[in-house]
Structure 1
Amino acid sequence: MYHQAPALRHKEILAAMGRGVRVIGAASIGALRAAELREFGMHGVGSIYAGYVRGEIDGDDEVAVGQAPDGDFGALTWPVVNLRHVLTLGVLAGVLDGARAAALLEELRAVFYPQRTMAAVRAVCRRQGETEFARWLAEHRSRDSHFGDLKRADALAAVRTALNGAGPSLGDTLPSPSAWETTNFYRWSNAFVRGCVDGLDLFTEDRLVYQQVFDPAYSERWTAYLEHRSLNPADGPGRPLEVRLAEATGRLLPAHRVFHPLVDLRDEASVSLLLAGESKQDRQAVARYADALTRAHHTAAGFSVAAVSDDLTRRLLLRVWRCAEQDLDVEASARGLVCGARAVEAAKRLVPGFLEEMAERTEVAGHGC
């Protein structure tokens, strides 16, 4: 459904394979992803997958189809791979020659994919003078509604492959996670970590950012986390943070200005340290801020977190941290946010909730007067 929603991401597939799941791709975006991720262990099936691997086709426009937004998964339009297939069948049947088939394919693929209906295919054929091919295709479709549906054939082949347990063993092909767990992977995976606490379903990243912004003692939490990472690195021997710092700078800079480790919110030990100062009231505030963000999405046309004013967010941080503009980078770094610019980006999600909270406090104060 990638017209109405983002296409399946490579990182989602890699994350599944990293948990030992065998992933098979075919027919559509699955075939494209399987071709792109075959060296990481994704198993591709079918002629569309083979076309991507050989470089005969590329891009998701080849397999894109229009679908209704109401949950009916049936294709309403013709994808290019199916059109190319039926044109090839037409050439083999003697209805077209190669040059006419190639010209007709270019005209058909020029039609925007959600508009490439059977009626549009017939109209293009008439315009190109290929009415005989249109009649031939209609006759075959009347006898078999799936005639020329290469995507369907490949999808069924993938289902049979899954049921038969065929395909390579993941253990033989999947590289070490260090080969694909990149900075972007951690950012993506962190965005989806969530849990139920005190009856509240909360994203862990929201809880972390809230603490980084509002906990007055958060610099102590971050230092404890840096010490934990130094003693428990992903690879190599653990050493005290002070030893590493002395080697790196001779202790000329604080640890938070030197070390910026990637945070993995899937790791319970890390989360426990990072949220050590969180209270029940904090979690309730995170829930309110999340609700405020949802309301902003629903009520403000075109709203997005990225569109929240940088200047407004910066002023919020300066107010909460009670620091001068020139000290913003240092304060952000001490809280694990690296620098002022990254702190602003992280804190934007809190702005709608913070503004609502300020407005409520002002209203209460007004009534008190």
Structure 2
Amino acid sequence: MVIIDGLYHQAPALRHKEIIAAMGRRVSVVGAGSIGALRAAELQPFGMVGVGAVFRSYWSGEIDGDDEVAVGQEPDGRQRALTWPLVNLRHVLRIAEREGLADLRTCAELLEALRAVYYPQRSMAAVLAVLRREGAAHVGEWLRQRRSGDPYFGDLKRLDALEAISAATSGTLPPAPGEVPAGVWDTAYHRRWVNEAAAEEVDGLTLGALDRLTYQQLFDPCFARRWAAWLDHRSNHPGVGSGMWLAERLECLVGAAGGAPPVWALFRPVVDLTDPQAVRVLLAGETAADRAAIARCADRNAEAARSRPGFRPEAVVDGAARGVLLRLWRVDSEGLDAEALSRGLGSGQHAVDALKKFFLGFLADAREARSMEVGDAR
């Protein structure tokens, strides 16, 4: 796997745990050019291989900032760079120094002046303007001419990317510097991220596994029993060491302490939704109508975002979501936490937050059901 570039300003950057998880599964991961070079320098002790000048600069400590490789991109999906990253400007100024256009001290001063420009605004026009202001208009003219003859002139990130791809495809990569210790990547945080990404096509709908599970946790009146069954299975198949059925565990606790809390208060594992057994047990009560409702909720959220720019399900007022949940589960505020825990939702607030994704769709379905009831009565 060769990692070169990726979004990071308007979206979460490529996670270290994703890369470590891949390497933990014996995938060779190479980084170069941009965020690939940065991650390679950070994860070399775990076995990630770095290639190219940008990686070497990060690894040696010559550079250490994210802004060294950051660029602004076209917003239309083409992802063409609109601005200059510092690593490319540093490379250009070294060439200028070698060709006698400026001495080493002047190039260092020019680089600092260019660094002061915020990276999404460091366009070619801005670079030329800074060079003119600093008394180096001739360097700007030289750069403009070189770029007119070669649109890739000075693009160190591109050179490194090509080097990495060539090395990976020709089998000439340097050996991995280390190895991921067993299990270091398999954390609760990683499993939550995997659950967010897990999806499959069912009934012609592409649905996230986590959405399907959460819908059952919220809306299936029998889900507490299903969660207890899953905890029993999980308790006896812990993955490490010898398992013990929950009845045995509780018996031990009762013997030791004279009483035991409910199983859902004792055991709160993070479900692995890539595990077919987990999906089979936890979604045993799911129906085609449930899956259609999840899709309708997603459509309602998308429609709200179009009509009210900036809308997100998380913006639903806590009190409104909490009121729906209390009526749905037929509990009072004091019983909300216990009911949420019995369904594997962690806490009452976690359940309230989870409901917000389905809030608009649930209300729309409820209004439609009431209209049909009124129509039938007439």
Match of 1:102 in 2: 108
Answer whether contact 2:212 2:291 (CA < 8 A) is retained. yes
TM-score after normalising by structure 2: 0.90
- Distance (whole Å) between structure 2 residues aligned to residue 4 and residue 96 of structure 1: 37
Match of 1:315 in 2: 323
Shift in Å, 1:4: 5.4
Unaligned runs of 5+ in 2: 1-5
Moved more, 250-259 or 330-339: 250-259
TM-score after normalising by structure 1: 0.92
CA distances 1:35-83 after superposition (whole Å, capped 9, x unpaired): 2222332221111111122222223211112222233343222111011
- Distance (whole Å) between structure 1 residues aligned to residue 78 and residue 186 of structure 2: 35
> What secondary structure sits across from 2:269 in the alignment?
coil
Residue 228, structure 1, aligned to residue 236, structure 2: no
Residue 165, structure 1, aligned to residue 171, structure 2: yes
Amino acid at match of 1:331: E
2:308 pairs, out of 300, 311, 315, with: 300
Answer whether contact 2:24 2:181 (CA < 8 A) is retained. no
- Distance (whole Å) between structure 1 residues aligned to residue 284 and residue 243 of structure 2: 22
| Alpha-carbon distance change, 202 to 175 in structure 1, aligned in 2, over 3 angstroms | same
Shift in Å, 1:275: 1.0
Match of 2:157 in 1: 151
Amino acid at match of 2:340: A
Match of 2:63 in 1: 57
1:255 pairs, out of 258, 263, 267, with: 263
Residue 276, structure 1, aligned to residue 284, structure 2: yes
Match of 1:75 in 2: 81
Answer whether contact 1:4 1:69 (CA < 8 A) is retained. no
Amino acid at match of 1:338: G
- Distance (whole Å) between structure 2 residues aligned to residue 364 and residue 169 of structure 1: 68
- Distance (whole Å) between structure 1 residues aligned to residue 176 and residue 194 of structure 2: 21
Kindly report which structure 2 residues correspond to 1:1-369, keeping only aligned pairs within 5 A, or say none. Answer: 2=7, 3=9, 5-167=11-173, 173-176=179-182, 178-248=183-253, 250=257, 251-367=259-375, 368-369=377-378
- Distance (whole Å) between structure 1 residues aligned to residue 61 and residue 193 of structure 2: 29
> What secondary structure sits across from 2:197 in the alignment?
coil
Shift in Å, 1:19: 4.3
- Distance (whole Å) between structure 1 residues aligned to residue 317 and residue 172 of structure 2: 52
Shift in Å, 1:144: 3.3
> What secondary structure sits across from 1:196 in the alignment?
strand
Moved more, 153-162 or 33-42: 33-42
| Alpha-carbon distance change, 217 to 19 in structure 1, aligned in 2, over 3 angstroms | same
Amino acid at match of 1:355: L
Moved more, 291-300 or 155-164: 291-300
Unaligned runs of 5+ in 1: none
- Distance (whole Å) between structure 2 residues aligned to residue 232 and residue 56 of structure 1: 49
Moved more, 30-39 or 184-193: 30-39
Shift in Å, 1:281: 2.1
| Alpha-carbon distance change, 109 to 211 in structure 1, aligned in 2, over 3 angstroms | same
Shift in Å, 1:186: 1.4
Amino acid at match of 1:220: R
Aligned residue pair count = 368
Moved more, 331-340 or 286-295: 286-295
| Alpha-carbon distance change, 173 to 238 in structure 1, aligned in 2, over 3 angstroms | same
Moved more, 40-49 or 313-322: 40-49
Match of 2:3 in 1: none
Shift in Å, 1:6: 4.0
- Distance (whole Å) between structure 2 residues aligned to residue 149 and residue 216 of structure 1: 59
Amino acid at match of 1:211: Q
CA distances 1:326-348 after superposition (whole Å, capped 9, x unpaired): 00011011111121111112222
- Distance (whole Å) between structure 2 residues aligned to residue 109 and residue 203 of structure 1: 42
Answer whether contact 1:211 1:278 (CA < 8 A) is retained. yes
Amino acid at match of 2:234: R
Moved more, 161-170 or 280-289: 161-170
